[in-house]
Structure 1
Amino acid sequence: MTLSDEEKSVERAPAAGGGESLWRTAGAWRGVGVAFGIYVLTRVVQLVMLAWLNHSAGHEGGVRGRLLVWDAGWFLKVATTGYPHGYTEDMAGRLQGNELAFFPLYPMLIKLFAVFGTTPETAAIAVSWVASAGAALGLYLLGTSLYNRRTGYALAAICLTAPVSIVFSMAYSEGVFLAFVAGMLVAAHRRVWWAAGLLGLAAALTRPTGAAAALALAVAALIEVGRIRRERDASIWPPIAAAAVALAGVPAFLVWVGNRVGDPAAWFRIQAAGWGTSFDYGTSTIKFVSETLADGDGWVPISVALILIAAAVAALVALAGKPWLPLAVYGVVAMVLVYGQAGFYHSKPRLLVPVLLTLLPAAIAAGRARPRVAVLSITAWATFGLWYGAYLVAVWPYTI
């Protein structure tokens, strides 16, 4: 398909300070309405699938109960009782995981929503839903700012229906994190540095992969400083300050945990004790994929192995297309963190959901394809992705 002159002018649109310009490019309220409609449609379809599978599985507590399982309990404990003051050990004196492994911003938002009279559980789900709606808007604006409006729609739809995108409806922090990351990247691309810095800091206080987002913002700031020195049209300090604020987030929380426990390595020890999480440079990931594909034991492990391979290939395709450098840096660093660490293999597809680099080739292709082809392709992707996530939550017996 040949791009029209209008699409060519929007694709690879140069970063420009000023939200009004992007607002017009994104179609103003109509564009925002379509992005929000994509969010509502994908969430409703997935919740219907979850209700169907949950009924078949016979779980008590209904759909709401399934949205509050596993890590949701840890976030709720932080929100309701706060962080412990030290390590947690079992009766034999062995170190256990505890709430200090979980970053603070999502629990803080749960507490904030609970002020309005809701239960913490309802507040946790509400925060995730509101944040995921914000993520849908952020993804649309990011795709529009980098490429064109159709690519923005595609990026939002593909991400919101990815395998294990069900976490956007659960009391998990991925929706909050993605909203901040997408907003940060949009702000950096449009040179709105105060917003980029605050959103980058928020992402860094939501999940450990916020470190990848902060590095991406630092790269964007370096690019901007180089431009300013050439053109001498602005101060270099706003982008530098934005990067410094974002980069401080993850180290600040790790230092706080270390001081609270009295051990500088406390956060890492708690992660390893509770969830087997440690950085082994991908050794365990390679072992899992190779052994799973060789033995073929269980369709979920096989599907996870195939997802890991497909995501790595998609990232290489994206990098071959030379995307905006800060987005590439965020994606590569985030993927290194996911693939390079040991831990529960069935959590890795969830951790890959916010890594936008893996979704970029499909979004760009859909943005360039005929509308009917794009819609049918994304619908096929969504049918599997939404069902897969619902299955893992309703039927698969282990945490995601």
Structure 2
Amino acid sequence: MTFPHLPASDRKEIGNLALAWGTTRAALLLVGYLSLHLLPPAGPRMPGNLRWHPDRAPVLEIWARWDAEWYLLIAERGYAGSREVLRELPRYREEDASGFFPLYPIAVRWAGAALGDPVFGGIAVSNLCLLAAAWFLGRLVREDHGEAAARWVPWVLFAFPTSLFLSAVYSESLFLMLATGSVWLARERRWWVAGAVGGLAALCRPLGFLLMVPVGWEVAGDRGRGPLRFAPLALIPAGTVAFLLHCRATYGDFLAPLHRQDRWRGPGSGPWRAFLRFFEDPQVHGSHQSGLELAAAFLVLAALPLMFRRLRPGDSVYAALTVAAPLCTSLWSFGRLTLAAYPLFHLIAIPCARRPWFAPAYLSLCLPLGALFMSMFASGWWVG
């Protein structure tokens, strides 16, 4: 594919993005497909998990596990309809779907109607959003650390060990696109559009309202206007409030998502809670006591001081809050939830461009882990 009317730099950027996406997604697809046929399925070992959609072709089915079932349920039945389904399942409460915010299921429903299959629609939405997220993040990195670092962004993001969730029927890639897009629009001084996009992000993930921090930092830097310049920031938490009002109307509980999180992840305290909980019953990998998640948490926390030294304060504070929030309850899904911390990928891209050894070391560590996680996920085992 050629783009003769684009500048050479843009054509090179598109080619790099396409190559990174194509090679990493093809590798994950191959690993997942082979694992589905060669590894024992997790079903007999993990009974009782929600199972909503009927099986699809293997190339689709490997991307629709665990939380994907919830998104597909909400996409088809809505929150009110999901109450009737969950009422018949003793493992769940009828308000448990409130833990999954609505924007991604809406997108899956529309894409599924257009493409003829909700699973295919969800995969298409996730991958298109993934490409857009990498493009926006590349723009942010280029502005602060140059073209060389920006070229590494797709490889850093797509090779991350839990990047399979960015192509699966999960909301991570949609949120990442909206988060990076909102910050990029703020840097372009398009305040109201940035606030509106941030509000959509808050309709996508529970911590979307934290985008007030990086967007607010950019607004604060525009000192030529008065205090009213902060007004667009109100659009970001408006997305969260809108969904909470919907929960009040549907479940009779304004804080239904928070109460559901308490039941699933456990009550919260400080960010030390996850580590104390791990040592109650350490495991190599599991839900709340995963050694793999513990290692990921230590690595990400170790990166935070570097982030505050090298990145913009708004981005760094946002990343710190995004990382600390899940640690207040559990290590459960920490590696996946870290995908929302877009400044982490910005930080990793910098030494990839400046240290000849860093990128090979990063890829050598992350790609095998990503293949392992994909093989587990495709076979129905818990990953994150």
Smaller-chain TM-score bracket: 0.7 to 0.9
Distance 1:277 1:304, change over 3 A: same
Q: Would you say the 8 A contact 1:36–1:136 is kept in 2? A: no
1:305 to 294, 300, 325: 294
The Cα shift of 1:277 comes to 4.6
Partner in structure 2 of residue 66 of structure 1: 62
Tell me the amino acid that sits aligned with residue 164 of structure 1: T
The Cα shift of 1:250 comes to 1.3
SS across alignment from 2:381 = coil
Residue 33 in structure 1 maps to residue 15 in structure 2: yes
Q: Would you say the 8 A contact 2:262–2:268 is kept in 1? A: no
The Cα shift of 1:131 comes to 1.0
Residue 325 in structure 1 maps to residue 313 in structure 2: yes
Residue 276 in structure 1 maps to residue 265 in structure 2: yes
The Cα shift of 1:285 comes to 0.6
Distance 1:310 1:92, change over 3 A: closer
Q: Would you say the 8 A contact 2:275–2:294 is kept in 1? A: no
Partner in structure 2 of residue 261 of structure 1: 251
Partner in structure 2 of residue 215 of structure 1: 213
Distance 1:147 1:55, change over 3 A: same
The Cα shift of 1:139 comes to 1.8
Residue 397 in structure 1 maps to residue 342 in structure 2: no
The Cα shift of 1:163 comes to 1.7
Partner in structure 1 of residue 174 of structure 2: 176
Tell me the amino acid that sits aligned with residue 371 of structure 2: W
2:24 to 24, 29, 42: 42
Residue 54 in structure 1 maps to residue 52 in structure 2: no
Distance 1:122 1:222, change over 3 A: same
Distance 1:249 1:277, change over 3 A: farther
The Cα shift of 1:359 comes to 3.5
Provide the C-alpha distance between the structure 2 equivalents of 1:44 and 1:247, rounded to a whole number of angstroms: 37
The number of residue pairs the alignment matches comes to 360
Distance 1:315 1:360, change over 3 A: farther
The alignment's C-alpha RMSD in Å is 2.8
The Cα shift of 1:46 comes to 1.8
The Cα shift of 1:299 comes to 5.7
Distance 1:283 1:313, change over 3 A: closer
Residue 204 in structure 1 maps to residue 202 in structure 2: yes
Provide the C-alpha distance between the structure 2 equivalents of 1:312 and 1:97, rounded to a whole number of angstroms: 33
Residue 123 in structure 1 maps to residue 105 in structure 2: no
SS across alignment from 1:353 = helix
Distance 1:111 1:397, change over 3 A: closer
1:351 to 337, 341, 350: 337
Q: TM-score, normalised to structure 2's length?
A: 0.84
Tell me the amino acid that sits aligned with residue 67 of structure 2: D
2:156 to 147, 158, 175: 158
The Cα shift of 1:252 comes to 2.2
Provide the C-alpha distance between the structure 2 equivalents of 1:72 and 1:91, rounded to a whole number of angstroms: 17
Q: TM-score, normalised to structure 1's length?
A: 0.81
Partner in structure 2 of residue 14 of structure 1: none
SS across alignment from 1:115 = helix
Distance 1:92 1:165, change over 3 A: closer
Q: Can you list the C-alpha shifts for 1:238-297, whole angstroms capped at 9, x where unaligned? A: x52431111321122123212322223322223333x235432234311144456xx5x4
> Unpaired segments of 5 or more residues in structure 1?
1-22, 230-234
> Unpaired segments of 5 or more residues in structure 2?
1-5, 42-54
Partner in structure 2 of residue 228 of structure 1: 224
Write out the 4+ residue segments of structure 1 that deviate beyond 3 Å after TM superposition: 58-61, 85-97, 288-292, 357-361
Partner in structure 1 of residue 276 of structure 2: 287
Tell me the amino acid that sits aligned with residue 22 of structure 2: V
Provide the C-alpha distance between the structure 2 equivalents of 1:115 and 1:93, rounded to a whole number of angstroms: 30
Provide the C-alpha distance between the structure 2 equivalents of 1:236 and 1:107, rounded to a whole number of angstroms: 36
Q: Would you say the 8 A contact 1:272–1:278 is kept in 2? A: yes
Partner in structure 2 of residue 341 of structure 1: 329
Partner in structure 2 of residue 13 of structure 1: none
Provide the C-alpha distance between the structure 1 equivalents of 2:140 and 2:237, rounded to a whole number of angstroms: 21
Q: 1:85-96 maps to which residues of 2 (within 5 A)?
A: 95=93
Provide the C-alpha distance between the structure 2 equivalents of 1:118 and 1:194, rounded to a whole number of angstroms: 35
Q: Would you say the 8 A contact 2:65–2:378 is kept in 1? A: no
Distance 1:144 1:77, change over 3 A: same
Q: Would you say the 8 A contact 1:145–1:189 is kept in 2? A: no
The Cα shift of 1:180 comes to 0.8
Residue 80 in structure 1 maps to residue 76 in structure 2: yes
SS across alignment from 1:208 = coil
**Higher mean C-alpha deviation, range 307-316 or range 45-54:** 45-54
